[in-house]
Amino acid sequence: KIGYLVPELYDMRGDWIMALTPGGVDQDLERLDYKRIKRPMFPLDEEMADPDLSVRWISDIKIQ
C-alpha cells in the first residue's frame, strides 16, 4: 500500500522483517473471517474439487 515510499525505505533499511499481524489491513488471508462468499474459495479453502480442464472442441465457428 505504500509503494511510492519503497525506494526511500529500501535505501534506509538495515534488515527488513515482514510481520503478518492482525488489523485493518491483515495480509494473512487464512486468518480473515470471510462469511458472505461462496465456498469453497481458492486460496482460502484447501480442500477443493479439481477443476475440469478438459478440452471442448467447438466445430460450428466460422472464421472469416
C-alpha cell read off for 62: 466460422
The parent domain of residue 8 ranges over 1-45
At position 46, the amino acid (one-letter code) is E
In a domain, 2, yes or no: yes
Position 53 scores a pLDDT of: 92
Based on the structure, what is the number of domains in the chain? Answer: 1
Which is more confident, 14 or 44? 44
In a domain, 10, yes or no: yes
In a domain, 50, yes or no: no
Residues 31-57, mean pLDDT to the nearest whole number: 87
* Mean pLDDT of the residues in the chain: 79
Contacts of 62 (CB under 8 A, 6+ apart): none
Neighbours of 44 (CB within 10 A): 13
Is the predicted pLDDT of residue 24 greater than 70, yes or no? yes
Which is more confident, 13 or 22? 22
In a domain, 40, yes or no: yes
In a domain, 17, yes or no: yes
How many Å separate Cα 29 from the centre of its chain?
8
In a domain, 28, yes or no: yes
Rounded Cα distance between 30 and 32, Å, is: 6
In a domain, 8, yes or no: yes
At position 31, the amino acid (one-letter code) is R
Residues 18-47, mean pLDDT to the nearest whole number: 83
